[in-house]
Each structure stands twice: as structure tokens, then as C-alpha cells.
Amino acid sequence: MDQQDRINYMINYLEKERGNETIDLTRPQDQAKEYLRALINIRPPQEISEEFLAIEDSFLAEENQSRDRITLADLTPIRANQYLWQGDITQLQLDAIVNAANSQLLGCFVPNHSCIDNIIHTRAGVKMRLYMNDLMVKQGHDEGVGLAKISPGYQLPAKYVIHTVGPAIPPGQAPGTQAQEALRSSYISSLKLAQEHGLTNIAFPCISTGVFNFPQELAALIAMAAVTDFQGVQRTLGQTPIQVVLNVFTDRDFMIYRDILSS
């Protein structure tokens, strides 16, 4: 079965699951990969056939292999145990990458949305949403702001994904002390989870910026302070600090972090 056959199989499966109901997209439906992604994005975390999962794994393995993989050896530290890299976080072949998630921890349900939550779940595969749903059902309530959970990376180059809920700031408002502490907690909670699982490196996106409206400069200062403090405690305790990659996507975020790291 080639890639087009895999795509056709998965689209047919998901449409039959929906009663052959197609969905409205802003993109033409003849763009089969985008349409498949949309169907997967909106699919609830319900039982699915092992055959589908095997075909999706094969499809994603080939898709993800076609993208360049970035390892820690490809990066140059700007500070001890701290790296800055601009690009797609799903290309990083590390112990863990962090997902800026919502409180359901089930990924983004908006078809073909460009948020990191959508992209990570899309490239990991359906198994990630199913795994996270099992965790959340057992927990019995949404994840609190500033907390985190860990999952396998599935078809991503990273071994694990740490899902954390950052604070959302109402448009036009400045983040107060509570929101700033919550953002710091997202970084610390993620680092603690990584340490508990014996991970040696981790990549963070710019948590809570973008649609969550946290000011970029302040978010970067909080992130760097949290990371540096955690690594400092590790050194004090005689532990090897976790290697941290600060992953940015926009040029503005790159300049903000570059200035902080080089100061």
C-alpha cells in the first residue's frame, strides 16, 4: 500500500465513521492530506480499529521521515545547558518536547488549525488523543493551569510529549501576579516530569503567547528564569542539569530570546 492508498483508506474509514458525512473546509477537498488531517482533528477520542492505527502509523512514519530531524548535536548552546532554535518543534529528535495544550489535554479540534497543539497531535497520530483521553477520564476533571502530563511521542521524533496548560490572558489585559506564577509553574511542572522520567533534554515552545495573549517579552523572561532556576537547583544537588532547548517560531520571539540568552 503506497501513501495515496493509505490516505484513501483513512479518509474512507473516517467518513464511514461519520456516516459518510464530509466536512466543510476553506481548503479544496482535492487536497487529500489536508482533508485527512481535518477529519482526524475533529475525531473524538473513541474506539478505532487496529488496522486503521497500523496504516496511520505507516503513513506518519513516512511523512515524518521526509522532514529534517534536529538533534541536540545540531545545536550550539548559548548558555550552559540552554539552546535556542527557531523552527518546527515536531522536527526535534529529543527526549521530550512540550505541548502548549488546553485544559482538556486532547489536542485541538479545529480542522487544520496552525496551533502547536494541533500540529503535535496531527504528527503523533490518533493514539496520542486516545492515550490522553484515558489519562483525563481517570483524573475525572480538566487539567489545572500550570500543571502538566506526559505521553509517548508515538510517530514524532521526540520520545515523549509533555502537555502543559499555560494561563490565558483576556485581550487587552496585562497578566497579573497569579498568571505570571502560573506560567512559571508550567515550565517547572514540565521540567519536574522530565526529571522524574529520567529524561536528559527537553524543548519548550513559547507557552501562552499567541492566541493565549501573554506578552512575548514577559513570557520569555519568565521562561528563562524558571529554566535557569531549575537547572541551578539541580547543580546545587549535584545532579546533571537537564538540557533545555528554547524553541521559537517567529522572528520576533527569536530576537527576544537571543537578547535574553546573550545578556
Q: Of 96, 77, 199, 114, which is closest to residue 157 (Cα–Cα)?
A: 96
The predicted structure's pLDDT at residue 20: 79
Spell out the domain ranges in the chain: 3-64, 68-262
Low-confidence residues of the chain: pLDDT under 70 = 25-30
What is the predicted pLDDT for the residue at 27? 54
Residue type, 37: R
Name the grid cell of 9. Answer: 483508506
User: Helix or strand or coil: residue 120?
Assistant: helix
pLDDT value of residue 262: 79
Hey, how many other C-beta atoms are within 10 angstroms of the C-beta on 196?
Answer: 9
pLDDT at 26: 58
Beta bridge partners of 96: 160, 202
**Rama region for 32: left / alpha / beta (φ>0; ψ in -120 to 50; rest):** alpha
For 114, the grid coordinates are: 496552525
Confidence (pLDDT) at 172? 84
Q: What is the CATH number of domain 68-262?
A: 3.40.220.10
State the pTM of this model: 0.94
Q: What was the pLDDT predicted at 65?
A: 87
Q: Are 40 and 120 in contact, with CB atoms under 8 Å apart?
A: no
How many CB atoms lie under 10 A from the CB of residue 240? Answer: 10
Length of the chain: 263
Written as one letter, the residue type at 65 is Q
DSSP element (H, E) containing 84:
strand 82-86
User: Strands of 77-79's sheet, edge to edge?
Assistant: 77-79, 82-86, 243-248, 201-204, 96-101, 160-165, 148-152
pLDDT of residue 222: 97
Tell me how far apart the alpha carbons of residues 207 and 223 are, in angstroms, rounded to a whole number. Answer: 8
Distances (CA, A) of 140 to 102, 104, 143, 205: 16, 11, 9, 27
Residue 201's Cα: distance from chain center in Å?
15
On the 0-12 / 13-18 / 19+ scale of CB atoms within 10 A, 227 is buried
> Burial level of 75, CB count in 10 A (0-12/13-18/19+)?
middle
